[in-house]
Amino acid sequence: MSNKTINSNAYIWPAETHSSLLCDGRITDQIVDDFGVNVKIRVVSKGSFNIYGDATKTYTDTYSKAYIHQWTASDDEVKQGIFKDGQIMFVFKVSDEAKIKTQNLIFYAHEWYKITTVQPQIFSGTKYLINAIVQKLI
């Protein structure tokens, strides 16, 4: 919220900027809510060791909403080499950040995906979305 005010003949109210709305998360959260899909997030934790000395893993499943984007050759980010043609990215709200870690899994449309890269989207020093770049498990 800005400290500036806008005056009219009868009212004085705080002036909000689009960037303050964006950084507050209201607009970006609404995008995920409106255009996102329900996904299962499998948080993978390393446990103790089994009797053979192999590290064990435990899983905790949670559910969330994510916007899915598949990069295409026509995207500028692919042309610039930032992403690859066909690469899939799940976009989450910042409130899901603790679950969105490399090696965790995402289940969507009868397919499992492994999170390979996590990229927070930052604007004016504030995280407003979390990108999870994934690789489809076979």
pLDDT averaged per 10 residues, the chain (length 138): 46 45 64 91 86 85 95 93 93 95 96 96 87 94
Angle (CA) 110 112 117, round 5°: 145
The per-residue pLDDT for 17 is 43
Structure tokens at 114: 């492994």
The per-residue pLDDT for 26 is 67
Q: What pTM was estimated for this model as a whole?
A: 0.74
Of the candidates 40, 44, 6, the one whose C-alpha atom is nearest the C-alpha of residue 109 is 40
CA 47, 55, 113, 91 torsion-angle sign: positive
Specify whether the CB–CB gap between 121 and 127 falls below 8 A.
yes
The per-residue pLDDT for 24 is 54
The per-residue pLDDT for 1 is 45
CATH H-level superfamily of 36-136: Bacteriophage SPP1 head-tail adaptor protein (2.40.10.270)
Tokens 């103790």 belong to residue: 48
